[in-house]
Amino acid sequence: MRIGVLTGGGDCPGLNAVIRGVVRKGVQTYGHEFVGFRDGWKGPLQGLTRPLGVPEVRGILPRGGTILGSSRTNPFKIDNGVEQIKTNLAELGIDALVAIGGEDTLGVASKLTDLGVNVVGVPKTIDNDLGATDYTFGFDTAVNIAMEAIDRLHTTAESHHRCLVVEVMGRHAGWIALHSGLAGGANVILLPERKFDIDQVCAYVEKRFEIQYAPIVVVSEGAIPAEGDMTLQSGEVDAFGHVRLGGIGQWLAGEIEKRTGKEARTVVLGHIQRGGTPTAFDRVLATRFGLGAIDAVHAGDFGKMIALRGTEIVRVPLQEATRELKTVPVERYDEVEVFFGN
């Protein structure tokens, strides 16, 4: 078989480990041939390819990002986009595609499957918000990066008696804020799943100062005040209809300073969470996903996504995987007292 591989959406650590797993097993065990499509769905849409064999994947396991490049291209928003993809795949002799991405990339993959394109999906997102899989690779690395930042911020906050607000990624799901905040000993954690009361947040901040400690507040970029809306960096939307978020941390620090009289500063981690070398957990998970993906392609089991259930790698329908986002259950707020500030 001649198999195309692409990576779409936001980059994250572990993408190269998936590519490596797919290609090495595909070539050495099954004897398949591979073509790398560049820059997400733009690759098959415009016929943008690069060689992808065992020599091309040597040494990429610890590398962040993706050797194939990425984009947020949506072929369903482009005139004759789907027809062009089908034409290009046929001209290149592509028998199947391995699409590595998150909600949007795999949403396109699911629609293409319904239109007769042979696709197997691999779940990728630092937000860990894809349904049908317990974990996505990239999440563990992002959490560890955020946790290490919080560890360092504790000492500078104590030195200057400041409140530090740490804004992390998370548009609709607060998994990064939840895990990094708990692991880093944050005093307040604010997630998109529940609107927060700014007066309550300020009360927790003042309580922390009363016991001679400086508070750390971790907030997801998509967190919303009880009386307010998402903080937007601009009103523009991407090809999948997403607005660009940004600014909730700055707004929160300003309100805390104004209401408590205590100095508050903001740290926005942003794309630092996406970059750099993947953790051991993400390297292993991504490799297992890659091996599972090529097994599914070789078996002709298309329209599936490779998922982690417990400790097992399984196949689930792409439609199930992209039906709804996996958000933090509301009851989780009541499990740990740190949610409400200590």
Give catalytic residue positions: 127
Phi, psi of 308 (to 5 degrees): -105, 120
Order across the sheet with 96-101: list the strands: 49-51, 33-37, 2-7, 96-101, 119-123, 304-309, 312-317
Comparing CA positions, the residue from 211, 224, 173, 171 lying closest to residue 341 is 211
Tokens 């999948």 appear where? 240
Residue 249 CB partners (closer than 8 Å, separation 6+) = 165, 166, 167, 219, 221, 266, 267, 268
**Residue 204 near residue 219 (C-beta atoms within 8 A):** no
Alpha-carbon dihedral 180, 184, 186, 191, rounded to 10 degrees: 0
Residue whose C-alpha is closest to residue 227's, from 251, 263, 253: 251
Residue 281: CB atoms within 10 A of its CB come to 16
Neighbouring C-beta atoms of residue 81, cutoff 10 Å: 17
